[in-house]
Copies of this chain bind each other. A is one copy, B any other.
C-alpha cells in the first residue's frame, strides 16, 4: 500500500498518473482538510473534492477544480437572493456538498462520507481526510487573520502572508486508519502540493509527523516549486512571506527527517547537492504534468526511485 499525502490540484494530477501505473486499490490518499469551509450552510472540502473529481475523470482539466462542464445556475439564483457568490460552486459540484453536509449533520464522520462519495463516483483509491475533527488554515495578514478561502479566493491571495495557523489541529485526532496506513505502508509519497497550507495541516495533526519520522518504508516528496515558482496556487508567495527560501530546496527543508527521496524538476538540477545535504536523496526528473503521459512518467519515476531506496 502506497500512502500519499495530498493537497489539491497538483496532488490530484500526480495521483491520477500514479493510479494508472500502480493498482489504485493499493493507494491510500490522506487528504488535506485545512481549507475546508462552510458556505451557504454547506460543508465544502475543496482539496478532497479536487482529488475525487480528478480520479473520477470528472475534473475540469483547465483550472483543475470543480466538475468539467458544470453550470452555475444555483449560484446565480443564490446571488439573486443576495447570498455570497465569490466562491464558485457549480450545480453538479453542489450535489457533493449537499450530500456530504446532510450525512455529516446526521452524525456520520467526514471519513465515512468521503469514502462513500469516492466509491459512488467510481474512485478505487482509498481516500481519507487527515482528520474527522475540524482543522482550519488561518492566514495571518497585516489586516488580521483570514480563513484560507477568504485569503485565496475572495481576496485573490493579494494580502501579505505573515504566518499560517492550523486552528483546531492540536486537538484533532487522525481519522480512523490514517496512522495505521502510514505505519504499514510500503512507500509514502508527499504529493506536489503546497508544503505550508496543503501538507502543513496534515503534518499538524498530532501523531502524523511522528509516524512519518518513524516510518518503516521509503518516503519521497515531489517539489511543487519549480524554478522558484509554484505551478499553481499561492505556495511561492506564502513561503516568501514566511521568510522561507522559495525553491525546491526550501520545500526540502520543510520535509527534512520525513522523506528519504526528494524529486526535483530538471530546472532545479543545480539544487540537488544542497538537497542531499539535508539527508535525502535528490532525484532529478521532469515534474511538470502537462498531460496524461507526463503524469504517468512522473509517477513511474517516483515509484522507480522508491523501489531503489
Contact = CB atoms under 8 A, between A and B. Distances in A.
Interface of A: 40-42, 67, 70-71, 73-78, 80-83, 91-96, 98-99, 101-102, 105-106, 116-117, 120-121
A81 B99 contact: yes
Secondary structure of the A side of the interface?
A: helix
A151 B40 CA distance: 30
B120 A92 contact: no
Contacts of A91: 71, 73-74, 77, 91
Contacts of A81: 95-96, 99, 116-117, 120-121
A73 B102 contact: no
B105 A41 contact: yes
A101 to B, nearest CB: 5
23 contacts: A40-B99, A40-B102, A41-B98, A41-B105, A42-B98, A42-B102, A73-B91, A73-B92, A74-B74, A74-B92, A76-B92, A77-B92, A77-B95, A78-B95, A78-B98, A80-B95, A80-B121, A81-B95, A81-B99, A81-B120, A81-B121, A83-B95, A94-B98
The 5 closest A-B pairs by CB, nearest first: A41-B102, A77-B95, A73-B91, A77-B92, A78-B95
A40 B78 contact: no
Contacts of A80: 95, 120-121
Contacts of A75: 95
Nearest to A43: B41
A123 to B, nearest CB: 12
Contacts of A40: 98-99, 102
